[in-house]
Structure formats: structure tokens, C-alpha cells
């Protein structure tokens, strides 16, 4: 495509989007249906822009048009298969499920234990005028949609596939696990907690007890319990010690300014609601 979705205006959209959208509008039966179908088209175009191409169940390439869109639909749900260019052995499932005024977009990496990447988007934010006089005027805010899709779907999926094949990636998600753990151990604990909120893969990586053992030993050398073993719940131990230090700092009635600054930073992060979501 010689024109990207994020560069769209009310005067021009990518040719593939305009071609399929025109057929969808022409054959539409109701406004609600056409709005949903136009969002389907947007997502499919974004998949193709980001290096994914549609395939049949047998792995053969598919030429995308409005008829193809109808074949992928089952009731109100769209289910299509894609693969990343250059990595034909890895099949992906694109599943879009309308949920009232929103649509839930899932991309499942079938060959990686059905690892799933998800984002929910408001349909009417991007498909605002299904019966506008021109195709470009149907859509709005496509740069935001494109960035949202890249951040939540295409970049993590591509990084995961690259990581599977041993290729480096510009994304944290694409780093080999041993490299990821090495730099994670250099971060403040609140950054580790915050990263865990970004996607399911980082949540899984950051639940590793070895990581929390090393963080505990790094931050609480003097409190290291002698009875802890390799199978201990280091994550819970870290939180309990963290909270104990926070409580001790609150009870403190005297101390140097340096001490106060150290503990005030600790308190600021332990009170973050992310902590309870991630550490418990």
C-alpha cells in the first residue's frame, strides 16, 4: 500500500480500504451492520499494513475483497487467518467480536499455546458516518486507531514471533528471556510492577520467582530470611518486607533528611494501586 491508514484524512484513505469499503456500503442492509463491517475492514487493512497477510486454512494466500469479508463472518463475529510475511509457519487467528458500541479485537498465535493479544475499541469513534457522500468522510481519527492497534496488537505479535525464531526486536517483548531478566533487575520495583500491566507476556515474565528472589536480595540484603529456598514465594516475601519498611518509615519520628527522602520514594510507589493488582 502506498498510503498508510494513519495518514488518512476526510479527503483520502488507502486505496484498498476505499475499494472494499465502497462494496460494503453498496451491499449494506442496515446502518448498524455496515458500521460494524467497516470496522472489520479497517482492522484487516491494518493487519496488511503491518506485514500480515490473510491465508486459507490450508495456508494459501487470500485476495481480500468484500466477498472474502462475508466468508470470514460467522453471525456477527469475524474470524480470519493471517501469517506474518516471512514466517509462514506461524498461523494467526484474527477474531473481532462486536460488544454493544465497542468491538473486541483478538489476535491469537495458534502455534504458541494460543497466546492472545487483545484490544477493545469504540466503533463509532472511527466509523462515524457510514452513509457519507464519499468513502474518506466515513472515517475519523484513524491515526489514533492505527497507533492503538500497533501498540496493543501488531508490534507485540511481531516481536513475539521474532523472539520465537531467535531474531532481535526493537520491542522489550522481543528480547530473549535471559536478557529481559538482566535489565529488569536494574529497574526500581515500581517500574517492574508497571511493566507487568502492559501485556500478558510481560505479566507472565514478571511473575517469575527467580526474578523476585533476585530483587529481594538486591533491595533487602539485611532482611534476607535464612529459611528461604528456591521454591519459596519470593514475590509475597518482597511485598511483606516492602510494606513493613513502609510502616516503619511512617512510625519514624526522627531521622535525617536523606532517610526521609529514601523512604518517601518507597511509600509513593507501594501506595500505587498497581501494586495490589500485581504483587498479591
Mean pLDDT of the chain: 82
Closest C-alpha to 163, from 230, 90, 262: 90
CATH number of 5-164: 3.40.1000.30
Q: What is the pLDDT of residues 126-174, one digit of tens each?
A: 999 998 999 999 999 999 999 999 988 998 898 888 888 877 666 676 6
Give me the pLDDT at residue 146, please.
Answer: 94
Global pTM value = 0.65
The residue ranking higher by pLDDT, 247 or 260, is: 247
**Quick count: other Cβ atoms within 10 Å of Cβ 237?**
19
Please give the Cα distance from 25 to 35 (Å, whole number).
Answer: 9
Residues, the chain: 280
DSSP code, position 113: T
The predicted structure's pLDDT at residue 227: 58
Going by C-beta distance under 8 Å and a sequence separation of 6 or more, which residues neighbour residue 194?
274
Q: How many CB atoms lie within 10 A of CB 50?
A: 20
Interior CA angle at 38 toward 13 and 30, to 5°? 135
Place of cell 458500521: 35
Domain boundaries of the chain, sorted by first residue: 5-164, 176-279
Q: CA geometry: angle at 84 spanning 142 and 164, to 5°?
A: 120
How do strand 52-55 and strand 73-74 relate by DSSP bridges? unpaired
Confidence grade of residue 259 (pLDDT, cut at 50, 70, 90) = very low
pLDDT digits (tens, 9 = 90+) for 60-119: 999 888 888 888 988 889 999 999 998 989 999 999 999 989 999 999 998 888 889 999
Amino acid at each position: 500500500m502506498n498510503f498508510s491508514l494513519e495518514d488518512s484524512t476526510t479527503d483520502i484513505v488507502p486505496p484498498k480500504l476505499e475499494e472494499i469499503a465502497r462494496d460494503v456500503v453498496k451491499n449494506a442492509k442496515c446502518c448498524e451492520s455496515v458500521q460494524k463491517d467497516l470496522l472489520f475492514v479497517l482492522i484487516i487493512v491494518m493487519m496488511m499494513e503491518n506485514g500480515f497477510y490473510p491465508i486459507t486454512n490450508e495456508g494459501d494466500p487470500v485476495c481480500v475483497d468484500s466477498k472474502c469479508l462475508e466468508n470470514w463472518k460467522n453471525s456477527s463475529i469475524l474470524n480470519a487467518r493471517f501469517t506474518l510475511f516471512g514466517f509462514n509457519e506461524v498461523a494467526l487467528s484474527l477474531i473481532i467480536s462486536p460488544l454493544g458500541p465497542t468491538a473486541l479485537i483478538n489476535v491469537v498465535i495458534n502455534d504458541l499455546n494460543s497466546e492472545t493479544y487483545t484490544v477493545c475499541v469504540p466503533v463509532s469513534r472511527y466509523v462515524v458516518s457510514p452513509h457519507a457522500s464519499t468513502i474518506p468522510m466515513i472515517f475519523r481519527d484513524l491515526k489514533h486507531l492505527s497507533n492503538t492497534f500497533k501498540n496493543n496488537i501488531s508490534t507485540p505479535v511481531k516481536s513475539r514471533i521474532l523472539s520465537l525464531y531467535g531474531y532481535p526486536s526493537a520491542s522489550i517483548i522481543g528480547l530473549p528471556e535471559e536478557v529481559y531478566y538482566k535489565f529488569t533487575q536494574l529497574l526500581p520495583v515500581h517500574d517492574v510492577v508497571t511493566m507487568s500491566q502492559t501485556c500478558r507476556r510481560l505479566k507472565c515474565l514478571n511473575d517469575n520467582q527467580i526474578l523476585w528472589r533476585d530483587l529481594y536480595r538486591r533491595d533487602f540484603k539485611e532482611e534476607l530470611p535464612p529459611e528461604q529456598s528456591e521454591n519459596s514465594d519470593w514475590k509475597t516475601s518482597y511485598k511483606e518486607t516492602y510494606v513493613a519498611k513502609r510502616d516503619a518509615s511512617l512510625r519514624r519520628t526522627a531521622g535525617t533528611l536523606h532517610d526521609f527522602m529514601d523512604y518517601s520514594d518507597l511509600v509513593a510507589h507501594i501506595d500505587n494501586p498497581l501494586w495490589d493488582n500485581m504483587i498479591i
